[in-house]
Every structure is written in C-alpha cells, then in structure tokens.
C-alpha cells in the first residue's frame, strides 16, 4: 500500500476543519493536509497551499486575485442579495486593480511609519487605561474575561480614537464587528450570511452619520481628514469612503483583539517568556512575531487564478480558487525549525500573518506597536495574573482567537 492510501482524503480533512472541534484546534488537521504536499490539488477544482514558500509567493502573484465582485460571481452566485458581501467588495481588501490601487493610495498615507510613531503617546495612554480597567475589575479576586474587557476594549479604543468614534459607542460594537467577520468563514448556505448582513447594514448607517457629522463639524480625527480629502479630490465615492472606514474599524478591532488575547494566554502558559517580557521591553517584538506565527489571528486567505497558470509545478486553470492556509505555512518545517514550539527568540521569524504583496496589512505597524506596548504593561502591573478557567476559542476558522479568556489578577 502506498503512503497516500493511508492518508485521509483532503476533502474529509477540510470537512473536519469546519466542525466545532476542528475550529478549536486546527493544527493537527493542517499537518494531515500537509502530508498530501505543500500544494494540495483537489481534482483541479480547488487548490490549498500548506507550505510557507507557496503561500508567500501566491500573496505576491498579481494573477492570483482577491475576492472582488467579479470573482464572487463565480464563487458564490446570489451573493449580491447580501449586504455583507455587497459592502465587503467595495473595500480595498476585496478589490483588485485598478480599484485596489485607487483605494489603497487614498488611505495609506494616514498609516505611514511616521504617523504610527506620532501615535505612540496616545497608545501609551490608552494602554495604561486598559490595564487600570482590568486591575479595577479584578480587585478582590473577581474573575475578569480579558476578551471584552482588555483585548477588544483596547483595540477598539485605539482605532476609535483615530477614527473619531466616541468612546460611548465603542463597547456596543463588539457584537456587530464579530458578526461581520463570520461572513469571511467558508459557508454551506447563503443564509449563513444573514447575521453579517444585518451587522453590516447597521455599521454602514453608523458611518454614513459619522461622515455627515464630520463634514459639518470636522475634528482632529482621520474620518474628518478622509472626508476633507474625498470632498476636494473626487477620487472616491461616498460609498467607497464608508466601505473603507468600516474595513478600518473591523480590521483594527478583530485581528488585534485576537492577537492580544493569544499573546496573554501564551504568556501565562510560558512564565519564563512572560518574565522576559516584563523585564526587557526589547523582547516584546519577538514575542509579537512568534504569537503571530504560532497562533495566527488570521489563519487562511483566499485568492482566485485570473488566468491559466503553472504554480510550483501544478497546473491551475483560470477561475480556480486557491486557499492559502497561512496558519499551516507558519508551521512549515522546511521554513521553521521545531515549528510546534513557541519560541519568541526565534531568529529570522517572518510569519505570513500580515499577508504580503499588494494587500499587505495597512495596519501592521500600528498593530505591532500597540501589542508591544499593552501586553508587557499588563504583565508588569499584574504579576499574579492567572487563568481562572480554561479559555475557549471562537467558533471560527479564518479568525483565530479566544471567545473567553477568564483570568484572576490576584
């Protein structure tokens, strides 16, 4: 019997990944998938990449398209009836050139390295406030769920302050933002988009109002600056503006929330690394990178072939979906030694978690700086932090982070 006869069918592995158990711990299933190769071709109908090099090159390949409206017509007929995807395909992440280039150009200057450096005092202040909030909630030994009270609260405070979203509106957005990200998971039935549709419509209404408000009474926030630039430049429609403001909020709340929760849990599981993080601020960068590699907040990215092409020796026909399992690529033993070991001092650690190429995360520098600031502060201020109960993971495949992370602070 050959080795492949003993391996589970790739479609069966994908099916198991989509079960609640698979979502709780996808990594053994990625290894089952990797056993079929670093590119797994499902009869020419779908290609999965499990290898680091394969994912990295795909992200830089202009002929592998992001899921824009035309791509979605081929993949998910009927999607135009759904507000979630109608709005998603208006943002830069789900666009291809020339729209992508036009949208990215409009928004990218605001997130330059210089802007991020200027935001440091603001991030420091919000980090202090986030840690103080946890300390107060946990006083007297009360358990605190760090997901809403620390990770979401801090991530939303940062992007909320940048975009000028009043603090009183921020906490109420958690359910809406969470529902929107469920639209990114693979679905069996279009009805599964309904929670995301309702959430997206609500958020769009919110941003239309915010934009109108900032047009009449501008402030020092980015929304006011974007409104001014749109009204004088004429490059963007009002819908483009609203769609991309929604992207900025959701992207900057969800993945950073998961990164922060994952970092804290890994610190609690590895007290020696947590001690180093407390003692030496310079060790924070390595800790962030290793968390992004070992427990990525984003596990998979989708592309579609724009033309017939050869890819690492595999023939890919125009229109074929290509799923880059970056959570598997980050554990590729050809790229990382002992990939299943959490080692924040790993040399040359370049996880795929912020993507690469044209869609490389616009908020990567901000996300890094924020995480490097707030998690060491939490650990220093609350040295007795322990898990109060086993944490749960959210029931999602693409976004990976904790559903609940209950801790005690003393």
First vs last C-alpha separation in the chain: 57
Residue nearest to ligand HEM (CB): 363
| Closest C-alpha among 260, 251, 253 to residue 360 | 251
Site for ligand HEM contains 104 (CB under 6 A)? yes
Count the site residues for ligand HEM by CB under 6 A: 25
User: Could you give the CA distance from residue 344 to residue 284 in angstroms, rounded to a whole number?
Assistant: 9
Looking only at residues 237 through 256 of this chain, which bind ligand HEM when binding is defined by CB under 6 A? 247-248, 251-252, 255-256
Closer to ligand HEM by CB, 244 or 409: give it: 244
Site for ligand HEM contains 284 (CB under 6 A)? no
User: Could you give the CA distance from residue 97 to residue 157 in angstroms, rounded to a whole number?
Assistant: 32
Closer to ligand HEM by CB, 36 or 240: give it: 240
Site for ligand HEM contains 265 (CB under 6 A)? no
- Give ∠ CA 32-266-277 in degrees, rounded to 5: 140
Closest approach of ligand HEM to the CB of residue 383, in Å: 25
Site for ligand HEM contains 322 (CB under 6 A)? no
Pattern 66-85, ligand HEM, x by CB under 6 A: x-------------------
DSSP-assigned letter for residue 18: T
Edge-to-edge strand list for the sheet holding 144-145: 144-145, 406-408, 386-387
Q: How many helices (H) and strands (E) does the chain have?
A: 21, 12
Site for ligand HEM contains 297 (CB under 6 A)? yes
Window of 76-84, 169-177, 266-274, 295-303 that interacts with ligand HEM by CB under 6 A = 295-303
| Closest C-alpha among 244, 86, 246 to residue 173 | 246
User: Could you give the CA distance from residue 276 to residue 285 in angstroms, rounded to a whole number?
Assistant: 12
Closest approach of ligand HEM to the CB of residue 197, in Å: 21
Closest approach of ligand HEM to the CB of residue 394, in Å: 14
Closest approach of ligand HEM to the CB of residue 384, in Å: 27
Closer to ligand HEM by CB, 210 or 255: give it: 255
User: Could you give the CA distance from residue 129 to residue 123 in angstroms, rounded to a whole number?
Assistant: 10
Closest approach of ligand HEM to the CB of residue 323, in Å: 11
| Closest C-alpha among 152, 102, 352, 115 to residue 259 | 152
Closer to ligand HEM by CB, 126 or 297: give it: 297
Residue 47, phi then psi, degrees to nearest 5: -120, 135
Residues at the contact surface with ligand HEM, assessed by CB under 6 A: 66, 92-93, 104, 111, 159, 247-248, 251-252, 255-256, 259, 297-298, 301, 353-355, 359, 361-363, 366-367
């Amino acid at each position: 019997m050959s080795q492949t006869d003993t391996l589970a069918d790739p479609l069966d592995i994908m099916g198991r990944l989509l079960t609640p158990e698979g979502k709780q711990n996808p990594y053994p299933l990625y290894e089952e998938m990797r056993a079929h190769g670093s590119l797994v071709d499902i009869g020419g109908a779908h290609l999965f990449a499990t290898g680091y090099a394969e994912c990295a090159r795909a992200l830089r390949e202009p002929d592998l398209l992001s899921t824009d409206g035309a791509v979605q017509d081929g993949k998910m007929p009927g999607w135009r009836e759904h507000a979630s995807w109608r709005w998603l395909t208006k943002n830069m992440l789900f666009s291809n050139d020339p729209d992508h280039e036009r949208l990215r150009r409009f928004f990218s200057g605001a997130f330059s390295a210089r802007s991020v450096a200027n935001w440091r005092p603001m991030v420091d202040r919000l980090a202090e406030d986030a840690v103080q909030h946890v300390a107060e909630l946990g006083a007297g030994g009360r358990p605190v769920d760090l997901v809403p009270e620390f990770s979401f609260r801090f991530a939303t405070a940062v992007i909320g302050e940048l975009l000028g979203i009043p603090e009183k509106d921020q906490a109420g957005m958690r359910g809406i933002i969470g529902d929107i990200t469920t639209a990114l998971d693979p679905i069996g039935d279009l009805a599964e988009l309904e929670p995301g549709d309702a959430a997206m419509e609500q958020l769009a209404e919110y941003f239309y109002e915010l934009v109108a408000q900032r047009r009449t009474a501008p402030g020092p926030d980015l929304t006011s600056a974007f409104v001014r630039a749109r009204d004088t430049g004429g490059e963007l429609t009002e819908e483009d503006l609203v769609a991309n403001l929604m992207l900025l909020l959701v992207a900057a709340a969800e993945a950073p929330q998961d990164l922060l929760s994952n970092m804290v849990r890994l610190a609690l599981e590895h007290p020696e690394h947590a001690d180093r993080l407390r003692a030496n601020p310079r060790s924070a960068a390595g800790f962030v990178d290793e968390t992004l590699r070992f427990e990525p907040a984003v596990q998979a990215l989708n592309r579609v072939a724009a033309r017939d092409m050869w890819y690492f020796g595999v023939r890919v026909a125009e229109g074929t979906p290509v799923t880059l399992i970056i959570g598997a690529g980050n554990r590729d033993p050809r790229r990382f030694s002992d990939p299943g070991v959490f080692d924040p001092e790993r040399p040359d650690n370049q996880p795929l978690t912020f993507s690469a190429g044209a869609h490389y995360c616009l908020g990567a520098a901000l996300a890094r700086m924020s995480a490097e600031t707030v998690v060491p502060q939490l650990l220093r201020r609350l040295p007795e932090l322990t898990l109060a109960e086993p944490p749960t993971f959210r029931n999602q495949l693409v976004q990976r982070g904790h559903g609940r992370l209950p801790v005690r602070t003393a």
